[in-house]
A and B are shown apart, each in its own frame.
Chain A
Amino acid sequence: MKLKVNPNLTFTKDERKGLIFIIALITISLIVVFLINRFDKPEKLALEELHPEILQKIDSSKINNKQQKPNDQNSYKGNERPNHNFRFDPNVISKDSLKLLNIDDKTISILLKYRSKGRIHSKEQFYKIYGMEKYKNRIDSLILITEKVENKKPNSFQKNNWDSLISSNKNNYPKNKSLENYRSKDSSAFYPNKKYNTDDSGISIVTIKYIKLNETDSFELETVKGLGLKLSSRIIKYRDKLGGFYEVEQLEEVYGLRQETYLSINHLMIIDKSKIKKIKINHADYQILSSHPYIGKHKATVLLRYKENHGDYKDIEDVRKTVVIPDKALEKLIHYLDFTPS
């Protein structure tokens, strides 16, 4: 049979040989690769077999992880909580520190309730708290109960002494903060804000360390009773976002800081308004504006748009005209705005 095919479609014998050789080459390599991939099952290995040295690094990175992400609630869900071991006094330990010890929330709340009614004097008493028994093996060696030293409690005579002390130092204390109020609380537990200096006569003088809220760091804050690792770093983070606090009441806005905690710490805080970092609203870009807690993303957009259309903000009234910021927020925001023209 003769077939009429365009001669342009034919290959010479040499070309055919060459092409078939190439086909064979490619096909064989393909088949080999394909078979290897198909039947080579992935191997399972423990991490330390792979790189024995990296386990240590991973551990340290995990600890870092927890320290640097105190805001991340999710990382403490269920059994994934970190297991830190440190010595503690059940009479003073904060809720956050208890969480770090990996004690479940229910038991923690029972302990706090129990503690609010009276002191824990012994380990036995501690384990009587419902739910605490199951942690005995792990935390038994960590419990450190410091007994109240009766003679250090200021008596009526010493009270007068105290008052004179206050009057002489009055100017150093923040206004409206009653030291009486402070003293009525349980002051026996150890924490570094209060120092007991016992002079020769056996009279103890309490010196209180005040915390400059706009200059402090989370380590110093952590020493305050009631503020754990998480809360103190949250306060610092919130302060940095704001640019500084202008009144102590703003602490209540910190996420997770309960009112009881706030009432127990507010008298310890001093505020220096000159340390507040103001936003130059006529210079600020979207990043700066939107990251401020009182502004946020979409208000920032509107503020910027308003500026584009109407020129610089001259005073707070101009900001009010944008309508997006409610008056209450505006009252707060006024402390953070700088109207230097651009």
Chain B
Amino acid sequence: MPAPGLILIPAYNEAQSLPGVLCRVRTAAQQLGLDVLVVDDGSRDATASLARAAGVKCVSHVYNEGYAVALQTGMKFALCYGYRFVAILDADGQHDPGEIAGLLEVQRREEADVVVGSRYLTGAGYRATAARRLGMLLFSRLSSWLTGLHITDSTSGFKVLSERAMAMLALESLGDFHSEALLFFSMSGLKIVEAPITVAERKAGRSMYSVAGSLYYPFKTLLLLLVVGLKTRLWRRQELRA
């Protein structure tokens, strides 16, 4: 009998941190009866072979397509193999796989389509640079204002998605899957809740945000928010006409 859910780990050049992450993820997966999938996003190191050697499922992009596309590939995989929910973790070891159970419990209790693991819900410290903290705060406030929900951490990569959310994400790859994705889900009528998580410091590898990427991020996200708003309104109009 196939597992009901999938732990999805998008990874790009994470050979250093992946073995340790997979060791912890496999323990959590066994306890919860879940499968594990690593989406190797065209890594130039041994990310894919390490994932396969660790005995987890692994799909590999030929080229580096970016985080959102890697997530979308994971959603397509999950839908293709009949998984009912997906828990997304970063491959850098910052997320604690032991907290997946808590997020799944919140999803079940709240009947939510999207559970966002928030670093700021309990006030427990996550240390980031002042500029980054300011960016996170601004986009969380913006997401709250746009969705009408209380969102404390719109840039979290630790999420649980229902089958409905997976199907939507399989159709649309959205930026970095942050504020724009929350707006997209919210405008599409999906239920979003937050659950507290703890985040450790990155031990190896490089963040997907370079200095140039961090400067580009706010402009890209603002434009994406506008596009998502326009697109969702267009879909609604088309649905009404149909």
Partners in one complex: no
